[in-house]
């Protein structure tokens, strides 16, 4: 019987069987129930184990990112547990931004407020946020002065684009774009397609003589960038520039993923710190998955990278739901310990999971 079939037919059969096995594996990894279960575990553990210090003003953004992930998880799953927790937290803050009204970190809460407003249409949810930005727009400073560190591109721009969407006033998008591109012209390395954390890194090099591009810093940028693309009107004169920046960064990030599916603290020199790091990695899984879902990236090319990243992230979640290997609050690549956890890491994880749930 085998002789009659012949080698070419057998070869085709083997290829088809292999392809079916690969498809089955990918489908199982994208099983919605397992993704939602892991997300819920991470959410529940982090709620039960708040990081001491994140309620203070200058670390408030760290908790704000967690709740930005929570509201995004709700938007995808419609699980009221997420929404109710986001509302509880927001109401405890009276829907106000944090104290430093010119500092982008203190705008981060607004991502959750705008997400709640999209559901409730309660004007109180965005009243303070609108007031703060109206003040900034009336007395603007250049992006490279106000948003002088790349993290700012996650903290403030997503709030502005959603505020423009909520109010119908394009002045918030105009302000955001002007600030974004001045910061980008200042911090973006055109040769590497990555952002320096701030100007102090322009000439600095790792002990191995390589440039220093902080993983979470570039994760902040991509995490903010995809939200800008999501809410900015496509007819906006700057939309194409945002698209081009996203494609450049996505290609770069995809090419420097490590064997365990994660990215190292210094993207340009993985050997500087060889430990795992999950916060930057979670933002990359989120942003790359978003690219497939919105038609920017090839599913054939990028899905294996995303799945590898998701496997790598899940391997760092304990049975109780603690996301480990999260680099602590800082401003540069550093060593990370297995027990390290932070709320923004869990927020990024929820964003990644929520976007994976949309994959078809």
Active site members? 151
How far apart, in Å, do the first and last CA atoms of the chain sit? 40
Nearest alpha carbon to residue 254 among 217, 212, 220, 299: 299
Residue 29 vs residues 21, 65, 79, 95, 255: alpha-carbon distances, Å: 12, 26, 21, 38, 22
User: Is the Cα torsion angle 204, 209, 213, 215 positive or negative in sign?
Assistant: negative
Contacts of 138 (CB under 8 A, 6+ apart): none
**Length of the chain measured in residues:** 360
* CA angle (284, 286, 290) in 5-degree steps: 115
Helices (DSSP H) in 232-296: which residue ranges? Answer: 239-254, 278-293
Q: What CA–CA distance (Å, rounded) separates 200 from 191?
A: 18
Structure tokens at 173: 């998008």
Tell me the residue ranges of DSSP E strands in the chain.
188-189, 194-195
Nearest alpha carbon to residue 154 among 35, 280, 263, 52: 280
Beta bridge partners of 189: 194
Residue 2 vs residues 10, 13, 353: alpha-carbon distances, Å: 8, 12, 46
Q: What CA–CA distance (Å, rounded) separates 15 from 26?
A: 16
3-state secondary structure of 238: coil
């Amino acid at each position: 019987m085998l002789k009659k079939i012949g080698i070419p037919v057998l070869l085709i059969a083997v290829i088809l069987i292999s392809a079916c096995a690969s498809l089955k594996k990918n489908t199982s990894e994208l099983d919605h129930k397992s993704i939602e279960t892991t997300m819920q575990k991470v959410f529940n553990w982090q709620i039960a184990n708040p990081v001491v210090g994140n309620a203070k003003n200058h670390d408030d953004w760290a908790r704000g990112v967690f709740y930005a992930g929570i509201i995004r998880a709700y938007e995808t799953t419609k699980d009221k547990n997420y929404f109710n927790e986001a509302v509880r937290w927001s109401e405890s803050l009276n829907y106000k931004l944090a104290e430093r009204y010119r500092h982008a970190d203190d705008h981060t809460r607004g991502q959750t407020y705008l997400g709640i407003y999209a559901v409730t249409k309660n004007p109180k949810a965005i009243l303070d946020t609108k007031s703060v930005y109206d003040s900034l727009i009336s007395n603007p400073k250049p992006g490279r002065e106000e948003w002088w560190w790349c993290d700012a591109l996650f903290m403030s721009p997503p709030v502005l684009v959603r505020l423009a969407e909520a109010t119908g006033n394009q002045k918030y998008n105009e302000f955001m774009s002007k600030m974004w591109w001045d910061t980008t012209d200042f911090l973006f390395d055109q040769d590497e397609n990555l952002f320096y954390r701030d100007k102090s890194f322009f000439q600095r090099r790792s002990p191995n003589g390589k440039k220093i591009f902080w993983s979470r810093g570039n994760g902040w940028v991509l995490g903010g960038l995809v939200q800008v693309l999501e809410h900015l009107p496509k007819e906006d004169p700057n939309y194409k520039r945002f698209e081009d920046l996203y494609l450049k960064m996505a290609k770069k990030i995809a090419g420097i993923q490590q064997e365990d599916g994660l990215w190292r603290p210094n993207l340009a020199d993985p050997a500087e710190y060889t430990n795992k790091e999950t916060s930057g990695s979670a933002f990359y899984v989120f942003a790359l998955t978003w690219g497939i879902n919105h038609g920017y990236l090839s599913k054939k090319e990028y899905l294996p990278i995303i799945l590898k990243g998701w496997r790598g992230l899940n391997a760092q979640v304990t049975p109780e739901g603690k996301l480990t290997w999260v680099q602590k609050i800082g401003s540069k690549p550093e060593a990370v310990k297995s027990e390290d956890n932070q709320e923004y890491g869990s927020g990024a994880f929820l964003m990644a999971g929520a976007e994976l749930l949309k994959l078809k």
